[in-house]
Chains A and B, each alone.
Chain A
């Protein structure tokens, strides 16, 4: 069964509004979670690393003020796309390792469409 839960699975919003995506680890604690973005027919690109109790680490080229990440607890990380624009339309996927040497397990993704 799924070990990482992501919500919502899809969302449509108007340009200029903000959207929050939640990522929860099920039955395990995740001090670190990872947020990826995937464009159609392309591979996953790491956006940022979410760290419980501290600031997120963003990859080069990812605007931290636009993609706000909060790791509120050991089982919850949120990604807020602020002032969304059509070019932010994409598939956002969160992930977490179940342990220190464990591989990443991914959520089912959130398809964001900005109109």
Chain B
């Protein structure tokens, strides 16, 4: 069993839909949780960074962490075609770039 599980998709949604992306993990020591967006042939771009449990909102993006269930989510509201990318969850036991464990990424396509 992988330490971090993420459905690879692809996930196809119509423009304007609410997108829900999720990861589960097994290591209860993870404290820092991140979501990255990666366009084809580009490096990952940091979207959200959260510590411990709770919600964090930034524009159309909301990140949720439920440590009791070892489950994290990223919600995208009013999805746009420009949101089409691969979304990677990542987590670590400490901050400062401490060894990240990545999910495999979910490929999202937002269609007109």
Tell which of B11-19, B44-52, B64-72, B74-82 binds the partner: B44-52
Main SS at interface, chain B: loop
| Residue from A34, A44, A103 with most neighbouring chain B CB atoms (10 Å) | A103
Q: Please state if A109 and B104 are interface contacts (CB–CB under 8 Å).
A: no
A100 to B32, CA, bound (A): 13
Q: Please state if B96 and A102 are interface contacts (CB–CB under 8 Å).
A: yes
Contact with A along B13-48 (1 / 0, CB 8 A): 000000000000000000010101000011111100
Provide the residues of chain A in CB contact with B59, threshold 8 Å. none
Whether A103 contacts B97 in the complex (CB less than 8 A), given A43-B103, A43-B105, A44-B102, comes out as yes
Contact with A along B90-109 (1 / 0, CB 8 A): 10000111011011110000
A78 CB within 8 Å of chain B? no
A105 to B96, CA, bound (A): 10
| Residue from A34, A44, A108 with most neighbouring chain B CB atoms (10 Å) | A44
Closest to A100 in B: B96
Chain B contact patch, size range: 20 to 34
Provide the residues of chain A in CB contact with B49, threshold 8 Å. 102-103
Q: Please state if B36 and A106 are interface contacts (CB–CB under 8 Å).
A: yes
A78 to B89, CA, bound (A): 26
Q: Please state if A34 and B36 are interface contacts (CB–CB under 8 Å).
A: no
Q: Please state if A43 and B46 are interface contacts (CB–CB under 8 Å).
A: no
A93 CB within 8 Å of chain B? yes
Main SS at interface, chain A: strand
Q: Please state if A106 and B43 are interface contacts (CB–CB under 8 Å).
A: yes
Provide the residues of chain B in CB contact with A102, threshold 8 Å. 49, 95-97
Q: Which of A86-115 contact B (CB under 8 A)?
A: 91, 93, 95-97, 99-109, 111
Q: Which of A32, A99, A104, A107 contacts B100 (CB 8 A)?
A: A104
A6 CB within 8 Å of chain B? yes
A28 to B102, CA, bound (A): 25
- A36 vs chain B, min Cβ distance (A): 9
A46 CB within 8 Å of chain B? yes
Could you jot down 7 A-B contacts, CB within 8 Å? A43-B105, A95-B97, A101-B95, A104-B34, A104-B97, A108-B43, A109-B42
